[in-house]
Amino acid sequence: MDDHIYACFKRCVDRYVAEPEFRQLLLEAPAKAIKMLNYEDMLIAYKVKEAVCYIIHGQKPEGSLNAGLEGSDINTENEYLKEYIKRYKLLEGFVRNSVAESRYKDMSLCYFGEIVRNRCQMESADVRDHKLIYYFPIAFELTKGCSVQCDFCGFSADRLSGVFLYNEENAALWRDILIKTRELIGPVAGVCPCYFATEPFDNPDYESFIAVYDEVFGEKPQTTTAVCERDPERFRRFINNADPRNLRERASVRISIRTLEHFKKVMEIFSEDELADIELLSNHRESINRISSSGRSRRNPEIAEKRRLRYSISCIAGLYVNMFSKTVSFMEPEMPDDEYNLGYRIRETMEFTDADDFEECVKKLIGSYSLYDPPKDYELSWNKNIHIDCGDDKYISFVGEGMRYKLSKGVVMLDMIRFINEGYSFSRIASKLGLFGSLYGSAYQRLRELYRKGYVRLR
């Protein structure tokens, strides 16, 4: 398909998601909607409507064999939908491959990411429905806090209070930290973000830092900005300097939309062609997208309950580095609730001064928290987001949101349930129950299964 035609079609999709008036018009009078955008000579109205509805609502287009974009061989005569699916599949493949085992140097982080994914999918049907949710082993921040203060911010980002500038000393430290990260974690870190509860363009030197990233990893991390309109020429330069293939196949640049007015401004400033390969994340009130129920969106009365998703906005299972305060933490996502309002848990934070120091901190944090087997002397607890059903004669069921895992009942298992409830470690349970030999081995084996599936947690 001609790139310009696709760009016009994509604008229809973006406007359908973001703008209630356009949405209604496209549904009720597609020809008028297309005409309003001056696309009447290029786009075929009824096909645009059909494709948009399928993409957003999963309605089967005429002639389609499979519903859902994850379907392997969607057979449709609708050229817009065909092109959209073709591009979506490239992205899907990229995301899956970017976290492949072979890209990890530290396998414990790789396996820990899998445990976190198992747990989050078991805790939330919303996570299971999003096939592109994977957990990455590290995130960097190049500022402290965020100037934007979105009213839906899933991390309730603090106000901007510091910027890590690209001076000689900082540039050298940054390069050393990235080289160390590559050595310790592996090439997978090349796709990990350089923002978390921050806005990338709050840092006037963001582009320089990203250039070093590219030198060290041979790829640039994904950038999501909520302020592309703050300095349109800077944003234009940024996307013009990006590898076009990365923009298209990796969604390497994304725009977060804060309000309907913001969306309209972005549409006004940037042409269809400029935004053809830029993913728009419409988070504002009038959008049909749903957002995580963590942080400010959790308590914001203006966000309708049905728009809230039961999952954390954080996709980091591992290290969280702030270059301004020179801290590195170990973090994992959590179901947003009163205990984990921000949808993540920080296990421990350490300070570093240089790359060698950073290495020591990283090794210690990974050694303590990135665990594939539950250590026998760690205190345990049940995942608070599950319930345990012992009602059956033969089996005990561990039940998450729509997922159930069954283990055969036995006296040891029933006792383990009680002792884990009380926060015992496995060693303490084993000594309490006098377990040894094969009984000890099989009890530990069961604990390991429950831990890897996310039903048992380390306190």
Report the distance separating Cα 198 and Cα 166, nearest Å.
Answer: 17
Q: Which of 236, 298, 232 is nearest to 265 (CA)?
A: 232
Smaller CB separation from ligand SF4, 199 or 332: 199
Q: Give the shortest CB-166-to-ligand SF4 separation in angstroms.
A: 21
> How far are the Cα atoms of 120, 132, 179, 216 from residue 97, in angstroms, in the given order?
20, 11, 22, 19
Q: Which listed residue (148, 291, 309, 362) binds ligand SF4 by CB under 6 A?
A: 148
226 binding ligand SF4? (CB under 6 A): yes
Q: Give the shortest CB-199-to-ligand SF4 separation in angstroms.
A: 4
> How far are the Cα atoms of 65, 189, 451 from residue 413, in angstroms, in the given order?
46, 40, 14
- The tokens for 38 are 């001056």
**What number of chain residues touch ligand SF4 (CB under 6 A)?**
11
Smaller CB separation from ligand SF4, 201 or 270: 201
266 binding ligand SF4? (CB under 6 A): no
Task: Please count the residues of the chain.
Answer: 459
Q: Give the shortest CB-244-to-ligand SF4 separation in angstroms.
A: 26
Q: Give the shortest CB-12-to-ligand SF4 separation in angstroms.
A: 26
Smaller CB separation from ligand SF4, 184 or 342: 342
272 binding ligand SF4? (CB under 6 A): no
Q: Which listed residue (55, 146, 429, 435) binds ligand SF4 by CB under 6 A?
A: 146
276 binding ligand SF4? (CB under 6 A): no
Helices 20-28 and 45-57: angle between axes, nearest 10 degrees = 120
> How far are the Cα atoms of 124, 154, 199, 384, 398 from residue 120, in angstroms, in the given order?
6, 17, 26, 12, 15
Q: Which helix (H) or strand (E) holds 320?
A: strand 316-322
Q: Which listed residue (81, 133, 150, 278) binds ligand SF4 by CB under 6 A?
A: 150
141 binding ligand SF4? (CB under 6 A): no
Report the distance separating Cα 14 and Cα 26, nearest Å.
Answer: 12
197 binding ligand SF4? (CB under 6 A): yes
Chain positions 277 to 336 lying near ligand SF4, rule: CB under 6 A, are none
Contacts of residue 374, Cβ cutoff 8 Å, sequence gap at least 6: 380, 426, 447, 448, 451, 456, 458
Chain positions 394 to 433 lying near ligand SF4, rule: CB under 6 A, are none
Q: Which stretch binds ligand SF4 (CB under 6 A): 11-19, 53-61, 79-87, 147-155?
A: 147-155
The binding site for ligand SF4 (CB under 6 A) comprises: 146, 148-150, 153, 155, 157, 197-199, 226
